[in-house]
Chain A
């Protein structure tokens, strides 16, 4: 049997030596892990630990056809770490300056100063902590550098030049639907419109990664202790059609050039669903340059301003009287009288634009007789008239989904003075937003049903799945369907033989009502400033489009800004374009069409 190769003494010494070494290592470990633990952990945390926030991408806003109206684009904030800059890279600095559109000398000066400061901080005889605080590791060189430019900068391979990525909101179509979309300001706060009111869907949720980094600041992915992925925002699909929106904005530009109004609004909607296909205002602004736009230009006048509806309001009196079977279209009224006996009092009737005699209800609507409308309202009395005005949606919010709207003004009969029953039917002593007026007309076009205006079509998640849709919402049955159809037919006569004669498009049964109302300045009606409007729909027998053109304080040289002169031509022009774009078929074949079909001369 072997005696072994070591003596007991040697073995004991070796064991003691190994044990001593282990004890030393153990003691050191105890010192590092127990006694010096907090201090070291603080240092390690500062040096290696990092929490990287992953910003969620804000959802896009699309029109009804899927055209992009608002999206987020990444940009890079470019900076330098002066401590990592190398003198041998200086040759590439002029190219960097050229890519950033900066003078080469300025950039070189900034980087040299940074390098000098970095060296000074590193050499300063101060405590390590203080030195860490004073070291400059980030010198901003440029804001909002494009990704393509940043790619080219990266290819220059300059050590110490870094980019910090962020997202900014861009609006590819510029000023298209500016008041509907709203915008996100430089701080990333949504300020108005869909951006603000649908922020809950659009913003998404930021994620974060908790991990460690190495000496070169690269993430050590294997040490990720927590990885919460960002959830990108949902996409919002609006009911707006970009082409229709462009048409109405183009028309507004033309109105502005011709009449220099205080403001003007045009709204287009589908009467069957309440979906708004276009909503635009003048003045407007470019969403990509919102900071340059005055506050007035950012105002959505279509919902935020109230005006007296003027003669458009006559649809209330006419509709209500027909709906209660108080009159028929052939019932006549004496519209030549200047006073009328009502509830034992002799009331003065409002003035007419032109002298009338006996008029039927159909003529009262077509020729917009103020006295006729007053008599229709008197026939049903204050309470019933007020009830119908409320049913049409006046004096109430339309529940517009993007908010910012005003209620308008519709006093209850107990607050009316003696003349209100003669003035309100012609659209005085009542105030409404352009959208309220539009929706009231839309009720006539929709078989008497008042709908909630819809501007949001659906919400889609990142994969394109619809997470929420917005079906039509009925608010009120204003008129019986038969009454609404009858009133629609009466309104076609406004364009064929009434106040907007000549604005018709043969075959397409345009129906509508002109409105001209004096503005109230300092509490008094003035003769030289008006709100001109034309609100209508087509084709009258199966309405597909409701269209409102409202122009506030149009300047008409040497004349009054009548609805027929200011708004009706725009209504007709837009109707022609909409008929072509939406391929609306004529309700009846016009004579001109017959010529075309048979190859006749146009």
Chain B
């Protein structure tokens, strides 16, 4: 058996080198792609963080604005400006109710309905209402 010609070994080395180059090139391109992905992801994260910070800032702005608008001084000024005449009730205006407020409100409502019915249907047959209590 004859030994292989010396050039064949060189050819193999060249082929191997080419393979290595292709492989390392692929690795390099892969690395570049990964880096690009890292870059774009990091950038997206940064933009998202900036957006969140922006929204939080706007939220704070709105909260501070609302707080200013709700401060007693501002409300009183608006009350005066809009001539709403709103004010805290005085003790003399307060009626303290010891009985059940529901029954009291129902009775008050019925009284109003009776008054209305009397005014609208004077002379007509009287309307009767029955009060249903929910208590057991």
A residues lining the B interface (CB < 8 Å)? 1-6, 8, 11, 57, 67-69, 71-74, 147-148, 170, 172-174, 176, 219-222, 224, 242-243, 246, 505, 576-577, 579-581, 585-586, 589, 592-593, 596-597, 602
Contact = CB atoms under 8 A, between A and B. Distances in A.
A68 B60 CA distance: 11
Contact of A3 (B5, B60, B63): B5
B83 interface: no
A462 to B, nearest CB: 10
Contacts of B115: none
A580 B91 contact: yes
A576 B91 contact: yes
A267 to B, nearest CB: 18
A221 B88 CA distance: 57
Interface in B27-72: 35, 38-39, 41-43, 45-46, 57-58, 60-61, 63-64, 66-68, 70-72
A504 to B, nearest CB: 12
Interface string B107-121: 000000000000000
A11 B9 CA distance: 12
SS class, residues of chain A in contact with chain B: mixed
B95 interface: yes
A246 B72 contact: yes
A579 B91 contact: yes
A236 to B, nearest CB: 15
12 contacts: A5-B11, A8-B7, A68-B64, A71-B60, A73-B60, A74-B60, A147-B57, A221-B43, A221-B46, A222-B42, A576-B91, A577-B88
B68 A172 contact: yes
A1 B10 contact: no
Given A4-B11, A173-B67, A176-B72, A576 B90 contact: yes
B89 interface: yes
Contacts of A579: 91
A2 B11 contact: yes
**Residue among B73, B91, B98 having the largest count of chain A Cβ atoms under 10 Å:** B91
Contacts of A596: 94-96
Contacts of A72: 60
Interface of B: 4-8, 10-11, 14, 35, 38-39, 41-43, 45-46, 57-58, 60-61, 63-64, 66-68, 70-73, 88-92, 94-98
Nearest to B89: A580
Contacts of A8: 6-7, 10
A418 B115 CA distance: 78
Contacts of B91: 505, 576, 579-580
A73 B91 CA distance: 41
A585 B91 CA distance: 11
B57 A74 contact: yes
Nearest to B90: A576
The 5 closest A-B pairs by CB, nearest first: A4-B7, A221-B42, A68-B67, A172-B67, A246-B72
Contacts of B57: 74, 147
Given A2-B7, A5-B11, A221-B45, A172 B64 contact: yes
B73 A174 contact: yes
A579 B92 CA distance: 12
Nearest to B12: A4
Contact of A71 (B11, B67, B95): B67
B106 to A, nearest CB: 17
A581 B42 CA distance: 55
Contacts of B66: 68
A222 B7 contact: no
A72 B61 CA distance: 9
B5 to A, nearest CB: 6
A173 B73 contact: yes
Given A1-B8, A73-B61, A593-B96, A222 B35 contact: yes
A172 B46 contact: no
A242 B71 contact: yes
B64 A170 contact: yes
Nearest to B88: A580
Given A68-B64, A172-B64, A576-B91, 8 more contacts: A5-B11, A173-B72, A243-B72, A246-B72, A580-B91, A581-B88, A596-B95, A597-B97
A25 B14 CA distance: 22
Contact of B92 (A74, A242, A243, A592): A592
Nearest to B44: A221
B42 A173 contact: no
A221 B38 CA distance: 9
